[in-house]
Amino acid sequence: MRFDQKQEWDRIALSFLNHCKLILDVGCGVGRFISQDKERIIGVERSKASLSKCKSLGYKVTEGDIRQLPFGDSSIEGVHCSHIVEHFQPSDVHKVLSECDRVLVPKGILVIRTPVLWHGFYSDLTHIRPYNPEAILHYLTPLQGHTLPQISKKYKVLYLKWRYRQIESRNRYLGAIFNFLNRWGFPWITKTGYMMVLKKDT
């Protein structure tokens, strides 16, 4: 079977949120991540078309700006933020991270997935800039070197997985081999993104 990287990474992300009674998918789009567990995962989205699609599928979604989440302090056990931060300027990313921190309970889990700078990054006109893991960690951990206000020092990294450009071949047999190996990635090939899982300590 053909390896579906998005589906596999959705599965890995959810595995870190399995203990959560309530999971927030920030910028949920049309609900691909929500589809894994529509009872526990709720989405926040600004696009009316995406909201309409999610509701037609029976997903729990609410309209809102992710820079000002419509949830109370310490009300969410897990937050999933996939392919969102690269669409914002640094000051807005700071607001998004601040809001994720605000709504997360102590010992809550924050999952961030985003591309990094590679030759295909700016093929998407809505991409503003990439943010490597350290850019985020400077504001959520005791790391020094931040210029905007510190958000928290209470997070620790549970998991960091790099995404690599997938290799494909028109040759049937080579294609099958690459399809199998793409599950683990090729570290000597271009990094295209990452998934970082953070835990908020008390």
Could you read off the pLDDT of 163-199 as tens digits, one per residue?
886 666 677 766 666 566 656 665 566 889 999 999 9
Q: How much is the pLDDT for 188?
A: 60
Domain spanning 5-200: which superfamily?
Answer: Vaccinia Virus protein VP39 (3.40.50.150)
Mean pLDDT of 143-149: 87
User: What single-letter DSSP state applies at residue 20?
Assistant: -
Of 63, 101, 62, the closest CA to residue 81 belongs to 101
Measure the CA angle with vertex 78, ends 183 and 72; round to 5°.
Answer: 155
CB 54 within 8 A of CB 31: yes
- Is the distance from CB of 176 to CB of 169 less than 8 angstroms? no
What pLDDT is attached to residue 93?
A: 98
Would you say residue 115 has pLDDT above 70?
A: yes
Closest to 31 in 3D by CA, of 14, 56, 8: 56
Distance, in Å, from the CA atom of 85 to the CA atom of 89, rounded to the nearest integer, reads 8
Overall pTM surpassing 0.85 (yes/no): yes
**The pLDDT of residue 169:** 65
Question: pLDDT by residue (tens digit) across 42-96?
Answer: 999 999 999 999 999 999 999 999 999 999 999 999 999 999 999 999 999 999 9
